[in-house]
Structure 1
Amino acid sequence: MVDPRYIKMFHEVVEAGSYSAAARRLGYSQPAISQQMRALERSVGTPLFARVGHELRLTEAGEILARHAASVLRELTAAHSRIAAIRELRAGSIRICAFPSASATIVATAAARTARAHPDLRIQLFEDEPPSSLEALRRGDCDIALAFTYAGFEERLAEDVVGVQVLADPVVAVLPAGHRLSRRREVALSDLSGERWIAGCPRCREHFVRACAAVGFEPDIACTTDDNLAVQSLVAAGAGIALMPRLVLSFLKHPKVVERPVQRMEQRSVSAYALRDRAGIPATALMLETFRQVGQEMRLGA
Structure 2
Amino acid sequence: MLDSRRLRTFHEVVTTGSFTAAAHSLGYTQPAVTQQIRALEREVGVHLFTRNGRRMRLTEAGEALARHSERILRDMQDAQQQLQALARLRAERVRVCAFPSITATLIPEVVAGLLAEHPTLRVELQEAEPPESMHRLVAGECDIALSFSYPGARAELPPDVVEINLLEDLLVALLPAGHPLTRRRAVRLTELQQARWVAGCSRCRANFLTICAEEGFDPDIVFTTDDNLALQSLVAAGVGIAVAPSLVLSFLNHRQVAGRVIEPNVRRQISAYVLREHQDLPAVELVLDGMRSAAAARSGC
Partner of 1:71: none
Partner of 1:163: 163
Partner of 1:139: 139
Pairing 1:232–2:195 present? no
Q: Alpha-carbon deviation of 1:106?
A: 0.8
Pair 1:165–1:86, CA change in 2 (3 A): closer
Pairing 1:273–2:244 present? no
2:174, 2:242 within 8 Å by CA — same for their partners in 1? yes
Q: How large is the RMSD of aligned CA atoms in angstroms?
A: 1.5
Match of 1:141, SS? coil
Q: Alpha-carbon deviation of 1:182?
A: 1.1
State the TM-score, normalized to the length of structure 2: 0.70
Pairing 1:101–2:118 present? no
Q: Alpha-carbon deviation of 1:146?
A: 0.5
Number of residue-to-residue matches in the alignment: 215
Match of 1:96, SS? strand
Q: Alpha-carbon deviation of 1:281?
A: 1.4
C-alpha distance in structure 2 between counterparts of 1:240 and 1:86, whole Å? 46
Q: Alpha-carbon deviation of 1:86?
A: 7.1
1:191-250 C-alpha deviation (Å, 9 max, x unpaired): 010000000000000000000000110010010000000000000000000000000010
C-alpha distance in structure 2 between counterparts of 1:182 and 1:297, whole Å? 28
Q: Alpha-carbon deviation of 1:93?
A: 1.0
C-alpha distance in structure 2 between counterparts of 1:263 and 1:247, whole Å? 17
Q: What is the one-letter code of the residue matched to 2:101? A: S
Partner of 2:51: none
Q: Alpha-carbon deviation of 1:278?
A: 0.9
Partner of 2:152: 152
Q: What is the one-letter code of the residue matched to 1:94? A: V
Q: What is the one-letter code of the residue matched to 2:288? A: L
Pair 1:100–1:93, CA change in 2 (3 A): same
1:8-62 C-alpha deviation (Å, 9 max, x unpaired): xxxxxxxxxxxxxxxxxxxxxxxxxxxxxxxxxxxxxxxxxxxxxxxxxxxxxxx
Match of 1:170, SS? strand
Where does 1:1-302 land on structure 2 (aligned, <5 Å)?
92-301=92-301
C-alpha distance in structure 2 between counterparts of 1:261 and 1:120, whole Å? 42
Q: Which runs of at least 4 in structure 1 moved beyond 2 Å after TM superposition?
A: none
C-alpha distance in structure 1 between counterparts of 2:266 and 2:257, whole Å? 22
2:89, 2:281 within 8 Å by CA — same for their partners in 1? no
Match of 2:183, SS? coil
Partner of 1:23: none
Q: Alpha-carbon deviation of 1:185?
A: 1.1
Q: What is the one-letter code of the residue matched to 2:124? A: Q
Partner of 2:77: none
Match of 2:97, SS? strand
Q: Alpha-carbon deviation of 1:285?
A: 1.3
Larger Rg: 1
State the TM-score, normalized to the length of structure 1: 0.69
C-alpha distance in structure 2 between counterparts of 1:264 and 1:110, whole Å? 32
